[in-house]
A and B are shown apart, each in its own frame.
Chain A
Amino acid sequence: MSGHSTYEPKTGFTRWLDSRLPIIRLGYDSFVDYPTPKNLNYWYTFGGILSLCLMTQIITGIILAMHYVPHVDHAFNSVEHIMRDVNHGWLIRYVHANGASMFLFAVYMHMFRGLYYGSYKAPREVLWILGCVIYLLMMATAFMGYVLPWGQMSFHGAVVITNLLGAFPVVGESITTWLWGGFAVDNPTLNRFFSLHFLMPFMIAGVVILHVWALHVTGQNNPSGIDPKSKEDTVPFTPYATVKDGFAMVLFLILFSVFVFFQPNALGHADNYIPANPLVTPAHIVPEWYFLPFYAILRAVPDKLGGALLMFGAIGVLFVLPWLDTSKVKSLRYRPTARVFFFLFVLTCLILGWCGGELPDKMVFQVGATAAGDPIGLNFVWLSRIASAYYFAYFLIVMPVLGLVETPDAVPDSITASILDHSAEKKGLAHAG
């Protein structure tokens, strides 16, 4: 889409088609001849992996929908029917259920990559925001999908999350009633979640097209954060990117298969194999691992509305990130101080995930006890408070301030120069500017 097309139809049919619907040309220009920076590393392969994940979820999802029954009396049993009776049903369901985790894992890698290399900065703001929209839709899709098997975690997870919206003053209750289609999570809720769970992946596919379009307008960022300046800085998408992406996909699929075939329930929760019972909440309700950091932020605040707002804010802040970062240098490769804060941020996300899975009053460590026998030390609520504070501080304080006060390293003139520079560094030679 950028530059002029070099596609030349070779057969009579492709020439005929090209002058009527240049779709092969579009594919050729976007995925064959498309110039990609020549220094892309493996962190850049998650985009392709994500497309693979989306396709996998759509295909397995449509198959599951052929056997699944969205009704409170049948949903749980229909999933068991898929597992036990439907030919290869176990495989398809395990691919779909673990596929959701793999998908979210890949998107987190993709996003941390973007954070590290400054891929959200001008001129890629729209590209980044579209990515955030995809992420939001993915979370909504995964949440509604998890409700469908109608186990204990499905049900009570749905209760807790939908009740979050009830935290909003005045309109809260009308919103939850509207969302539930009743006065509690019940059959109408399950039915509409199924409909929306079916729809949303196709909306995601639509936004992915916009995302890739925006990508092809601005061109890819790269580990140096320097835009390609000459032909020397790029290589054609095929074979270079296709082969690298393909190899990464194979590694990813191996990991995926380990889960599907050897640990299919490791990422899920045993309580979800108990049919939903609205009258009893499981003793320890936890969301899927990919929501744990946000769950920890929610619980860090002792106030209902405050917790909900902070949790939504944690995602909302990503949307304005391009305007929070004041640094002119894109890649953290040339921002040693920012790099320290970044790794601290990654650590914070992991800690939040850890907190989200533990009971709030549990002690992280204990140094003693009061006379009454209450433990003294750090419990998980306080750890999540500290971590939440840093999560927001990273975006709202570190990003704007650091860009103004830090002294970045010298940025090379071009991608090619950065590569020579990099390999010189690796060989322990003097820094060659």
Chain B
Amino acid sequence: MADTVGEITPAGEDPSRRDFIHVATMAAAVGAVGSVVWPLVNQMNPSGDMLAMASLEFDLSKVADGSEVTIKWRGKPVFVRKRTPAEIAQAKADDNADLKDPAKDADRHKPGKAEWLILIGSCTHLGCVPTFGGGDWGGWFCPCHGSHYDTAGRIRKGPAPTNLALPEYAFLSDTKVKIG
């Protein structure tokens, strides 16, 4: 205490020491409240079993030319589409068209597998499930608010901001893919 400036301050009421105690108490209180609140908030995030949700193997031989199978992966629809040469040609031809979310058709499928288009089947607008065959670009049409996707699943018209998302997947063999 001897080194404090003012002799006016009676012993035990050193202002800097008081301030320190206040600040430390407040900091501890904030920390305590935070560490109590965080678990209460975080419990709503996906639980361990959700996160661990297994990946999915799918047998492609079930899908006929020019048709599509919808499977459920992580609660979401996944489109597995076997494209016809005409669909592929149309998608390629539009590679340099005026696209809202520019992407080459080649980047929408695995190399050498142009016939297999695997997409997350939720509209990037508000998550409805688009249907194939409607719309002005021969691809998918979302009935909810009218988004049109082409045969590469690229957004062409309507309120959706981005192309249909691609899930993570890999070919295990020519007829088997693993999604996730």
Residues of A within 8 A of B (CB): 156, 159-164, 177-186, 188, 192, 278-285, 299, 301-304, 307, 359-361
28 contacting pairs across A/B (C-beta < 8 A)? A156-B128, A159-B128, A160-B126, A160-B127, A163-B126, A177-B45, A178-B44, A181-B45, A181-B50, A182-B50, A183-B74, A184-B76, A184-B122, A188-B46, A188-B47, A278-B76, A278-B77, A279-B72, A281-B128, A281-B143, A285-B128, A285-B144, A299-B145, A302-B158, A303-B159, A303-B161, A304-B159, A359-B146
Q: Which residues does chain A contribute within 8 Å of B125, judged by CB atoms? A: 163, 304
CA distance A188 to B51 in the complex (A): 13
B12 at the interface (CB under 8 A from A): no
Q: Which residues does chain A contribute within 8 Å of B39, judged by CB atoms? A: none
A31 to chain B, nearest CB (A): 38
The chain B residue with its CB closest to the CB of A160 is: B126
If A156-B128, A161-B126 are given as contacts, then 19 extra A-B residue pairs at C-beta distance below 8 Å, sorted by A number, are A156-B144, A159-B127, A160-B144, A163-B127, A177-B46, A181-B44, A181-B45, A181-B46, A182-B75, A183-B76, A188-B46, A188-B50, A192-B44, A278-B129, A281-B128, A283-B143, A284-B143, A285-B143, A304-B126
Q: Which residues does chain B contribute within 8 Å of A188, judged by CB atoms? A: 46-47, 50
Q: A160-B144, A281-B143 known; A178 and B126 CB under 8 Å? A: no
CA distance A284 to B130 in the complex (A): 12
Residue among A156, A182, A303 with the most chain B CB within 10 A?
A182
Q: A281-B144, A299-B145, A307-B159 known; A183 and B126 CB under 8 Å? A: no
Chain B residues 105-131 with CB under 8 Å of chain A are: 121-122, 125-131
B160 at the interface (CB under 8 A from A): yes
Residue among A188, A281, A283, A304 with the most chain B CB within 10 A?
A281
Q: Which residues does chain B contribute within 8 Å of A159, judged by CB atoms? A: 122, 126-128
The chain A residue with its CB closest to the CB of B161 is: A304
CA distance A137 to B174 in the complex (A): 53
CA distance A156 to B125 in the complex (A): 13
Chain B interface residue number, banded: 20 to 34
CA distance A285 to B146 in the complex (A): 11
CA distance A304 to B143 in the complex (A): 16
A280 lies within 8 A of B50 (CB): no
A281 lies within 8 A of B129 (CB): yes
A182 lies within 8 A of B74 (CB): yes
The chain A residue with its CB closest to the CB of B125 is: A304
B70 at the interface (CB under 8 A from A): yes
Q: Which residues does chain B contribute within 8 Å of A162, judged by CB atoms? A: 127
A178 lies within 8 A of B45 (CB): yes
B142 to chain A, nearest CB (A): 8
Q: Which residues does chain A contribute within 8 Å of B50, judged by CB atoms? A: 181-183, 188
Q: Which residues does chain B contribute within 8 Å of A360, judged by CB atoms? A: 145-146
Q: Which residues does chain A contribute within 8 Å of B41, judged by CB atoms? A: 178
Q: Which residues does chain A contribute within 8 Å of B158, judged by CB atoms? A: 302
CA distance A304 to B131 in the complex (A): 20
Residues of B within 8 A of A (CB): 41, 44-47, 50, 70, 72, 74-77, 121-122, 125-131, 142-146, 158-161
A278 lies within 8 A of B47 (CB): no
Q: Which residues does chain A contribute within 8 Å of B161, judged by CB atoms? A: 303-304
Question: Which 9 A-B residue pairs are closest in the complex by CB-CB distance?
Answer: A184-B75, A163-B126, A281-B128, A186-B75, A163-B127, A160-B126, A183-B74, A281-B129, A159-B127
CA distance A179 to B44 in the complex (A): 7
The chain A residue with its CB closest to the CB of B75 is: A184
Q: A181-B50, A285-B128, A304-B125 known; A278 and B72 CB under 8 Å? A: yes
Q: Which residues does chain A contribute within 8 Å of B144, judged by CB atoms? A: 156, 160, 281, 285
The chain A residue with its CB closest to the CB of B45 is: A178
CA distance A29 to B131 in the complex (A): 62
CA distance A355 to B158 in the complex (A): 17
A280 lies within 8 A of B159 (CB): no
CA distance A101 to B176 in the complex (A): 50
A185 lies within 8 A of B160 (CB): no
CA distance A176 to B114 in the complex (A): 33
B180 to chain A, nearest CB (A): 10
CA distance A282 to B128 in the complex (A): 9
Q: Which residues does chain B contribute within 8 Å of A303, judged by CB atoms? A: 159, 161
Q: Which residues does chain B contribute within 8 Å of A281, judged by CB atoms? A: 128-131, 142-144
CA distance A285 to B142 in the complex (A): 11
B146 lies within 8 A of A361 (CB): yes
CA distance A159 to B123 in the complex (A): 11
A292 to chain B, nearest CB (A): 14
Q: Which residues does chain B contribute within 8 Å of A192, judged by CB atoms? A: 44
CA distance A307 to B144 in the complex (A): 14
A372 to chain B, nearest CB (A): 11
A164 lies within 8 A of B129 (CB): no
Q: Which residues does chain B contribute within 8 Å of A280, judged by CB atoms? A: 129
Q: Which residues does chain B contribute within 8 Å of A182, judged by CB atoms? A: 46, 50, 74-75
Q: Which of A156, A278, A285, A302 contacts B75 (CB 8 A)?
A: A278
B72 to chain A, nearest CB (A): 6
A297 to chain B, nearest CB (A): 13
Q: A302-B159, A304-B159 known; A183 and B128 CB under 8 Å? A: no
B105 to chain A, nearest CB (A): 24
CA distance A308 to B154 in the complex (A): 22
CA distance A177 to B70 in the complex (A): 22
Q: Which residues does chain A contribute within 8 Å of B46, judged by CB atoms? A: 177, 180-183, 188
B42 to chain A, nearest CB (A): 8
CA distance A182 to B161 in the complex (A): 22
Q: Which residues does chain B contribute within 8 Å of A161, judged by CB atoms? A: 126
Q: Which residues does chain B contribute within 8 Å of A178, judged by CB atoms? A: 41, 44-45
